[in-house]
Structure 1
Amino acid sequence: MHKKNHSRITRNSRREKNKHNITKKIVLTSIAGLSLILICGGVYATYAIQHNPKQESQAEDISQYEHKEHALLEKIRTSQKHDELESTEQEKTDKNIQTLIYEPLTTEAIPQLPKINSELTTLIEAAHKESSKETPIKLVGHIKRIKVNEQLVGYQPILDTYTWNQEKNEWSEKTELGKQPAFVNQKTKQPLTLQDIFISEANALAVQQVIEQKLLSESPDGNAIIDGILNMPSISLAETAFTYYSDKISLTLAENSSGKTEITLPYKEIAGYVDPQFIDTASIKDVVPEPLDPNKKYISLTFDDGPNPDTTPRLLDILKEKGVTATFFMLGQNVVKHEALVKRVAEEGHEVASHSYSHPQLTSVDAQRVTEEVQNTDKAIYHAIGKLPTDFRPPYGAVNKEVATIIGKPIIQWSVDSQDWQSHNAEAIIKRIDETAYNDTIILMHDIHPETVDAVSTVIDHLRNDGYEILPSKELLGKKAKPLHMYYGSKDERPVQ
C-alpha cells in the first residue's frame, strides 16, 4: 500500500515538472517572439520615419530656407559693403521679421539726414504693420547716394522688403523709395536751393514768364483767367517750395486763377535761365541755341509803334519777298484795333513784342500806371495771337530798376537809330543806317511811317551787300535775354540800374 502511494506521487511529480517545463518553454517562446516583433517593429518604424515623404519634404524645406536665408543676408551685406555710402548695420528681430538698418558713417555730408531718417523710419513702420507675422520677412532700410554731377549729389531713403515664399521656396523682393531725394550742393555742402538753380532774380522773372504762358496755354479759356495770372505773385528764390529732378523742376504756386498749386517745367523750356552745373545737361542738349558764328556779321531790324493798317501790311509784303524776319514792338492800343494784322505778323514768323499800351515815359509815371501799361498790352497781344509777349522796349528807351522789375521782361534797346521818326525821308533813313550800322547790333525803325517802309527794301539790300545776316532780336541775343537787363546788341548787355 505504501509502495503504490509512493509510485503515484512520483508520477504526479513528473507530470507537474513536465507541465512546468512546457509552460516555461511557452513563456520563453512568447518572449522571444514578442522581442522579435518589437525589434522588427522598431526597425520598420525607424525606416518609416526616415523615409516618410512628407517629413522628408519638410526637412528639405527647412534646409533650403536656411541656405537661402544665409545667401540673402550675405548678398545684402556684401551689397552694402560695396555701396558708395559707407554705413553701419543696426539689426533687430521681432518674431519672423528681421530688420536691418544701414546708417551712413559720414553724417556731416548730408545736412538733411534727420529728415531722411525720419522718412525711412516711417517706411519701416508701415511695412511692419502690413506684413504677416507668420511669414519670414527681411526689412532692409538704407540710403542711396545719387550723383547727378560733380556739383550735385542726392540722398534717397530706400526700403527693400524680402518675403519668403513657402510654395516656391524663394525670397520675393519689393523696393519702396522715399518721396524725393534730398540734394546737396557739393560746393557749399548745403541743401540745394532755387538760388543755386536759377542763379538770379532776373532768371527767376524769366521763369515766371514761362509759368504764366504755360498756365494760360493749359487753360480751356486763357482769356477768362489772364488777369489773375498776370497778377499772381512771382516765384521767390528764397521762399518758393520746389521739387528737384535732374531733367525738370516742380514749383509750388501762389494762389491763382488757374486753380493750380504746382507746375512742372522741363529744363528744356527754361534752358537759358538755369545753371547747367545743377541739372542733367542732356535734358537741354537739343534746345540750347548754337552761338552765332564769330566769322559772320549779324544785325537785327526792329519796328516800333505799330501795327498800322496803312503801312504795316506793305512792310510785311517786303519782308516776305526778301525772306527777312524782324521784331515788332507794338503798342497795346493799336493791337486791340488791328488784331488780324497782329496775327498776320506772328503767322509770318516775326516776333511780336511789347512797347507799352499808350507810349508814356514809364520813368515819369507811378508804379500802378507802369503795371497797367505792361499788363494791358500783354492781354491785348495774348487775345490776338494766344501768346504773351516776352520782350519789351520802353518808350524813349526810358527805364530804371523799379520800372524794369514791374515790366518783368528783357529790355530790348537799340544801337543803331534810323532817325526815321525825325527825318521822315527814305533816302535819309537809308543813308543813316549805311553810315551807322555795325556788327551784332539792333536797328530802330517805326512801321507807322510810310517813308520807313519805302526805305526798307534798299536797307535790306545794302545790309546784305555788306555781309550782314538779318535776324529778329530774340535770335540775335541767343534766346537768352532776361529781365532786369538791357540789350543794345548781342555783345552789349547791361543790368538796369
Structure 2
Amino acid sequence: MFAACGGKDNKDNKADTTKVVVAPPSGPGTPIKIDSSKRYIYLTWDDAPQPPGTNISKAIFHEQGVKATFFMVGMHQFDHRRKMIVDSVRNAYPEFLLANHSYTHGFRNNYRQFYSHADSAVADFQKAQDELKVPVKIIRLPGNNNWVFKGEINGPKIPREVCKRLDSLGYSVVGWDVEWRFKGNSTPIQSATQLAQEVNDKLDNFTSFTPNTVVILAHDRMFAPAQYADSLRRFITILKQDPRNVFETIDHYPLIQQQK
C-alpha cells in the first residue's frame, strides 16, 4: 500500500507525509512457526528444468494457491529457455523454492558409480549449487531416499559416505514419504484420489518420517500431458478440502528448521 497524498479537495493543500514502512520479505531458509494443530504437506518436484512439465506444474500450483519445491538438475539448464525457468523459480520465493538435485543426476543415473566416489559426487552437488545459484543448502539425492539432519543419516547404505560429507558441509538431505510413481514415458500410476489416500494414511497413521508432515515426490515431466495436469489439479483440490492441511516449501520442514 502507498500513503495517500493531498488532492485538489484538500483545503490545507498539504501533502500527506506519512510513511508506510513495509518489512522486506523473509528470504529462503528463514524459519517459520510450526502450528502443531496443522498437517504440513511438501510438494517436491524433481529433475527440473523440464519444459513444458515444469511450467505447467508451476502454473497449477499458482492457480491452486499452494507452495512447492523444485529440486533441479544443473545439466538440465543448458539453454536460455531453461535458464529462464530456473530463474523464475528462484525469484518466486516464498511461493516456490529452488533446491539441489545434483549436476549430472548421479552420473546420468549411474548411481552405484556416482556414490562409490564420494569426492566427485560431493563436487557434483557443489557444482549444481553454484551454477543453479541454489539459495539454500538442501539436497535430494538422485535415486536414493535418504534423510540427513545434524549427523543423523537414514536411508540406503550406498550413499552413506556422500551423506556424511554433505552433512559436514552443512547440507540437509531430504527424502520422501509418498511418491507419485510413473511408468513408461512418465505416465503417472496412481490416480489423484489414490495418491491423496496415501497421503492421508501416512498422516493418520503417523508413518511419515516426521509426524504431521508428508513429503511428496513427483517429477515435472509427468504433468506435461493435459490429462495428467488435470490429475495434479484434482490431487491438490482433494488435499485442500481438509482445513488442517498446509502446503509449505521444504526449507520449512521441521527438522531443517531445527538446524537454524
Q: Same fold (TM over 0.5)?
A: yes
Alignment check: 8 A CA contact 2:49 2:86 kept: yes
- Structure 2 counterpart SS, 1:397: coil
**Change in CA separation of 1:421 and 1:334 when aligned onto 2, cut-off 3 Å:** farther
In 2, Cα distance between equivalents of 1:416 and 1:318: 20
Give how far 1:309 is off. 1.9
SS of residue paired to 1:353: strand
Partner AA of 1:442 in structure 2: V
Which residue of structure 2 lines up, in the alignment, with residue 447 of structure 1?
220
- Identity, in percent, stands at 24
Residue in 2 that maps onto 1:339:
83
SS at match of 1:340: helix
Deviations 1:359-411 (A, max 9, x none): 222664312320231122112112xxxx5442000012255442013333101
Specify which of 459, 462, 471 is matched with residue 238 of structure 2: 462
Q: Which amino acid is the alignment partner of residue 457 of structure 1?
A: R
1:310 pairs, out of 35, 39, 52, with 52
Residue 161 of structure 2 aligns with which residue? 402
In structure 1, distance between residues paired with 2:195 and 2:78:
32
Q: What is the distance in 1 between the residues matched to 2:122 and 2:66? A: 33
Does the CA contact (< 8 Å) of 1:302 and 1:445 recur in 2? yes
Could you tell me how far 1:431 is from its partner in structure 2? 3.4
| C-alpha distance 442-348 of structure 1, shift in aligned 2 (>3 A) | same
Task: Return the offset for 1:426.
Answer: 5.0
Task: Choose 1 or 2 for highest CA Rg.
Answer: 1
Kindly provide the CA deviation profile for residues 185-233 of structure 1, in whole angstroms up to 9, marking residues without a partner as x. xxxxxxxxxxxxxxxxxxxxxxxxxxxxxxxxxxxxxxxxxxxxxxxxx
Residues 454/306 of structure 1: CA separation in 2 closer, same or farther (3 Å cut):
farther
RMSD: 2.8
By how many angstroms is 1:424 displaced? 4.2
Distance 2:31 2:121 in 1: 33
Code of the aligned partner of 1:465: Q
Write the letter of the residue equivalent to 1:343: D
Contact 2:182 / 2:189 at 8 angstroms: preserved in 1? no
Q: Could you say what secondary structure the match of 1:444 adopts?
A: strand
The residue correspondences of 1:223-302 to structure 2 (distance < 5 A) are 289-290=32-33, 292-302=34-44
Task: Report 1:333-412 matches (<5 A).
Answer: 333-337=75-79, 338-349=82-93, 350-360=96-106, 361=111, 364-382=115-133, 387-397=134-144, 400-407=159-166, 408=169, 409-412=171-174
Number of equivalent positions = 194
CA separation of 1:332 and 1:430: change in aligned 2, threshold 3 A: same
SS in 2 for 1:298: strand
CA contact (8 A) 2:196 2:238 kept: yes
**TM-score, structure 1 normalization:** 0.36
Choose which of 413, 422, 429 in structure 1 pairs with 2:175.
Answer: 413
Shift of 1:432: 3.5
| Residues 426, 455 of structure 1: 8 Å contact kept | no
Instruction: Give per-residue Cα distances to partners, 1:402-456, cap 9 Å, x unaligned.
Output: 2013333101100011113579445724133122102411001111222554422
Aligned equivalents of 1:423 and 1:435: distance in 2? Answer: 24
Tell me, yes or no, if the aligned pair for 2:72 and 2:99 is still in contact at 8 Å: yes
Contact 2:183 2:189 in 1 (8 A): no
Superposition deviation, residue 357 in structure 1: 1.4
The Cα of 1:306 is off from its aligned counterpart by 1.1
Please tell me whether the aligned partners of residues 353 and 390 of structure 1 are also in contact (alpha carbons under 8 angstroms).
yes
Higher relative contact order (CA 8 A, sep 6+): 2
Structure 1 CA distance for aligned equivalents of residues 115 and 246 of structure 2: 37
User: What SS does the aligned partner of 1:328 have?
Assistant: strand
Asked whether the 8 Å contact 1:299–1:442 carries over to 2, the reply is yes
User: Counterpart of 1:431 in 2: which secondary structure?
Assistant: helix
Higher relative strand content? 1
Structure with bigger helix share is: 1
Structure 2, unaligned runs of 5 or more: 1-26, 147-158, 204-211
2:247 is the alignment partner of 1:473: no
What is the distance in 1 between the residues matched to 2:56 and 2:198? Answer: 25
> Structure 1 counterpart of 2:102, which letter?
S
Local SS of the residue matching 2:257: coil
